[in-house]
Structure 1
Amino acid sequence: VGYRADAVQNFFGDGSRYKIAIQYATQVVQDGTGRVVDIARNFAGNSAFILSYGDILVDPQNYKSIVDLPDDIEAIITVTRGEDVSKGGAAFLNERMELVDLREKSPPGEVERWSAISERAVPFYNAGIYTFRPSIFEFTAKLKPSPRGEYELTDAIRELAQSGKKVQAIELTGEWADVRDPEILARLNRA
């Protein structure tokens, strides 16, 4: 947890009312999503783990599709369509739904340039739910600050995929929303 950690912990508690066990770790310096994964190292150990951004709303059934990580896949990234990729991650996939490239909050014109070299002309939107093997830590450890001054998880995932390890994309089903600002939250509350 990071921003508004107390609200999250007060709401979910230890997870017992949901019949799950919840453990928390705190991102003291909020310097990007790439550093969040490093915090999970103590929890994950040598096991695969799920990471979900806290500012998304998604049909819970989608989590079932990413729990089991096949032996030949190093990570799963969830994607959706119809979102403005300049506001999040543009996921470029091959015909087998494997990640080829991933770019975070691309400036105008960049998505078109990457689309021209990708196997798919229109990128998917990174939906913010992942399953990782511990190998991701090798790539988050090498992160450098992005032009935005943050350590971007998407940079580590891109490097993982481009190292030859398979990163499989799964398209979400049902409703999904990125609650990235108060206007979106207000719109969702009216719906």
Structure 2
Amino acid sequence: MIVGYHGDAVRSYFGDGTCFGLQIRYATQVVQDGTGRVVDLARDFVGQSPFVLSYGDILVDLVNYKSIVDLADDVEAIVSVKQNEDVSKGGAVFVNQQMEVTDIREKSQPGEMTSAWYNAGVYAFRPSIFEWTAKLQPSTRGEYELTDAIRDLAHSGKKVKAFELSGEWADVRDPEILAQLNRPA
């Protein structure tokens, strides 16, 4: 598990994973320099195996993980998406009719072309993603953006699919959303 901000709280809660029937090892993103660097920290964990990445501030229905884990043989990556979200807060994902990613843009500016599909923060990758994260340059925000590596992977001719999440989804980095989720039903 890759931790950064509030990593001690995450380690304290999950421990070594035995109480969840898991074995958890940790790596720390010391410098918060972007999501592209997080993927590089996973390289030693995953070796040559496909892997799932989920942002810690994203909550999704568990059924989605089961679907995302099963990467088709001809797919290099899966990007989870939601519709009807404010794409200016995150990534706008552009797809063709087969739900193949044709472009992805992080935090589009007003007036830029946009998409109905919002990057929902859960991914599946083959280790080929490391080739693209290694080439990342800082964005205009000064961060190494995972979305840039995904876009480059898709533009290289490799198949990157979008997967529409079902069920509940919440971005809990927004304190108002977190407060809503904690209110009794």
Smaller-chain TM-score range?
A: over 0.9
What is the letter of the counterpart of residue 82 of structure 2?
A: T
Q: CA deviation at 1:92?
A: 0.5
Structure 1 segments (4+ residues) deviating >3 Å: none
Q: Distance in 1 between matches of 2:10 and 2:61?
A: 19
Aligned length: 182
Query: Which residue matches 2:21?
Result: 19
What is the letter of the counterpart of residue 19 of structure 1?
A: G
Query: Which residue matches 2:119?
Result: 126
Q: Distance in 1 between matches of 2:37 and 2:148?
A: 12
Query: Which residue matches 1:48?
Result: 50
Q: Distance in 1 between matches of 2:48 and 2:71?
A: 14
Q: TM-score, normalised by structure 1?
A: 0.92
What is the letter of the counterpart of residue 81 of structure 1?
A: Q
Of 166, 179, 184, 1:186 maps to 179
1:60-86 Cα shifts (integer Å, max 9, x gaps): 111000112111000111111111000
Structure 1: which 5+ runs fail to align?
A: 116-121
Q: CA deviation at 1:183?
A: 2.2
Query: Which residue matches 1:72?
Result: 74
Q: TM-score, normalised by structure 2?
A: 0.95
Q: Percent identity?
A: 72
2:69 aligned counterpart, secondary structure: coil
Considering only aligned residues, what root-mean-square deviation do their CA atoms show, in Å? 1.1
More displaced 10-residue stretch of structure 1: 176-185 or 46-55? 176-185
Alignment of 1:91-106 (within 5 A): 91-106=93-108
Contact 1:93/1:123 (CA < 8 Å) preserved in 2?
A: no
Q: Distance in 2 between matches of 1:95 and 1:9?
A: 42
Q: Distance in 2 between matches of 1:32 and 1:168?
A: 22
1:42-101 Cα shifts (integer Å, max 9, x gaps): 111111111100001111111000112111000111111111000011001110011010
Q: 1:138 and 2:140 equivalent?
A: no
Q: CA deviation at 1:123?
A: 2.7
Q: Distance in 1 between matches of 2:171 and 2:125?
A: 21
Q: CA deviation at 1:187?
A: 2.2
Structure 2: which 5+ runs fail to align?
A: none
